[in-house]
Structure 1
Amino acid sequence: MKEISFNDFLAKYQAGEIQVLDVREQEEYDARHLDGVTLLPLSVLAERYSELDKNQPFYVICRSGKRSARACLFLEKKGYDVTNVQGGMNALED
């Protein structure tokens, strides 16, 4: 599984170079999120992953990096190009 540090991810995100998939639940997303990301909670990913563009690479984020790692493993098996964001939203400083 490919991984990226949060700081390297943030630089790419701020440059507008990437597509981000947030796999947290709606309530977590509503409390704090990055603008322009796709929300697809891990709890429904198995049923809805086909909504994602298979030709588009995604950087996958959650709260701490654990759910996003699980999402990456699942999506890799389905043929998606995904990278796990280490540390997740917890790494974002206020």
Structure 2
Amino acid sequence: MINSIENDDFYQKMQNEKLTVLDVREKVEFIDGHVPMAQNWPLSELAEKYSKLDTSTSYYVICRSGARSANACAFLQDKGLNVTNVTGGMLAWKGEVI
């Protein structure tokens, strides 16, 4: 089972903690606007790059709606990483976009 967090809870958590956020949308989507502090790790490149992620870090994974991030979380979790899917993705995000 994949861990998930509701968008509003994620927003609140970001206000109180420094989170490591992976945005798995493609580069052009990321450039159009993303959650502050997010790193762009496109789903299309994840299989070849995931080994650069630290297994001791907790990652919050976001995309446009929550579907690609759920797929990314399933993949990363299978690789031994601690991941949480942000449900609703950027469509539900009410915070600042940079």
TM-score interval, normalised by the smaller of the two chains: over 0.9
Counterpart CA distance in 2 for 1:16 and 1:74 is 25
Query: Which ranges in structure 2 are unaligned for 5 or more consecutive residues?
Result: none
* Equivalent position SS for 1:70: helix
Q: Which of 69-78 and 33-42 deviates more?
A: 33-42
Pairwise CA distance, 1:35: 1.8
Say whether 1:23 aligns with 2:24.
yes
Q: TM-score scaled to structure 2, two decimals? A: 0.90
Structure 1 stretches of 4+ moved >4 Å: none
* 1:38-92 Cα distance to aligned partner (Å, 9 max, x none): 1100000000001111110001000000000000000000000000000000002
Q: CA RMSD in A?
A: 1.2
Unaligned ranges ≥5, structure 1 = none
What's 1:41 paired with?
42
Sequence identity (%) = 50
Count of aligned positions:
94
Distance 1:93 1:81 in 2: 25
SS at match of 1:90: helix
Residue 65 of structure 2 aligns with an amino acid whose one-letter code is S
TM-score by length of 1: 0.94
- Deviation of residue 14 (structure 1)? 2.3
